[in-house]
Amino acid sequence: MATPYLFLVCLVACCLLMTAAWCWAVKIKNAGVVDVFWAFNFPLIAVLLFFLADGLELRKQLICGMVLIAGSRLGIHLWQRVIGYLKEEEGRYQQLRKEWAPQENKKFFWFFQFQAFSNVFLAIPFFVIAVNKDPEISPPEYLGLILWAIAVFGEAIADWQLTQFKKDPANKGEVCQSGLWNYSRHPNYFFQLLMWTAYFVFALGSPMGWIAIISPLIIGYLLFKVTGIPATEEQALRSKGDKYRNYQKTTSVFIPWFKNRSS
């Protein structure tokens, strides 16, 4: 199947899934479920590409397997985090609900659809790779695979450390400073960006692979300017106040191994 048709099929599938997610969110009054389905849209794209793209079978197995593993891990992690608090919408979405009232449901619908579009545009490296028929796996593809493994492992550790911290009732209202969170306020976001950089590096082994740079650039913009770090830190400041301000003074905003001691 030609790449434009692959793109269209994946976009329709992601939009349909997000429409179903929005219907559920309206029913339970919790827009936080969008994060779960955003993560699961990537495995959906991977499955569609595996069966519909006409690239080298081994290359498709590698990239689709990578996306399936990473997306499913993140989706399951977010599902476990959200499912226990379905009656308590995350602070970021409560704030949007207030700002968008009285048309919050309509605006959330388009917000969910925007997430579906972002899924497909971020998946550009997957499209480039899945249609590559070159019989040889190249050095950039091996390097991308190594970087991807580091990123997924690192993100899983960061998520696990935060989950363990939140499980302890004594930590309610406190700021997690365990493990990687002692060095970075957002180690999970750091490894998320590294993972998308790995997909870009992997795509460099395919014709037109350079266009895959759009994925880490978009992720970086979203993390630093839109729904990632700004929204997360604003909510943390609202809920934890001075405790989080003190945390900001002693940690790097992003890079896990550079602890900020200048303040």
Q: Which DSSP state fits 176?
A: P
- The per-residue pLDDT for range 94-131, each reduced to its tens digit, is 888 899 989 999 999 999 999 999 999 999 999 999 99
Weakest-pLDDT range from 6-15, 83-92, 210-219: 83-92
Residues 14 and 116 in one domain: yes
C-alpha dihedral sign at 98, 102, 103, 104: positive
Judge contact between 105 and 30, C-beta under 8 A.
no
Residues 154 and 226 in one domain: yes
197 and 250 inside one domain? yes
Residues 35 and 159 occupy one common structural domain = no
Calculate ∠ Cα 151-35-23, nearest 5°.
Answer: 155
Task: Quote the percentage of the chain above a pLDDT of 90.
Answer: 62
Q: Is the pLDDT score of 261 beyond 50? A: no
pLDDT, tens only, 243-259 = 888 887 877 777 765 55
pLDDT of residue 257: 58
Same domain? 119 vs 186: no
In this structure, the answer to whether residues 202 and 155 fall within a common structural domain is: yes
What is the mean pLDDT of the segment spanning 169-182? 86
Q: pLDDT-derived band of residue 232, with 50, 70 and 90 as boundaries? A: confident
Cis peptide before 140 (omega within 30 of 0): no
81-98 pLDDT, tens per residue? 787 777 788 877 888 889
Same domain, 126 and 152: no
Q: Total domain count for the chain?
A: 2
Among 119, 135, 151, where does a domain finish?
135
Q: Which residue has the tokens 């199947």?
A: 1
Which of 109, 135, 161 is at the close of a domain? Answer: 135
What is the average per-residue pLDDT within 236-243? 83
Tally of CB atoms within 10 A around 243: 13
Q: Same domain, yes or no, for 217 and 245? A: yes
151 and 254 housed in the same domain? yes
Asked whether residue 75 falls in the same domain as residue 205, the answer is no
Range of the domain at 228: 138-263
Q: What is the mean pLDDT of residues 204-221?
A: 94
Q: pLDDT higher for 229 or 57?
A: 57
Are residues 67 and 160 both part of a single domain? no
* Domain finish residue from 120, 135, 150: 135
pLDDT at 17 over 90: yes
Question: How many of the other CB atoms lie within 10 Å of CB of 115?
Answer: 21
What is the Cα–Cα distance from 127 to 209, expressed in whole angstroms? 10
CA distances for 257 relative to 93, 163, 230, 253, 254, angstroms: 31, 21, 21, 11, 9
Assign residue 168 a region: left if phi > 0, alpha if psi is -120 to 50, beta otherwise? Answer: beta
Shared domain check, 19 and 105: yes
Q: For residue 227, what pLDDT is reported?
A: 74
Mean pLDDT of 149-167: 92
Residue 201: exposed, middle, or buried by beta-carbon count in 10 A (0-12, 13-18, 19+)? Answer: buried
Q: What is the mean pLDDT of residues 18-25?
A: 96
> Global pTM?
0.87
- At residue 259, the pLDDT reads 54
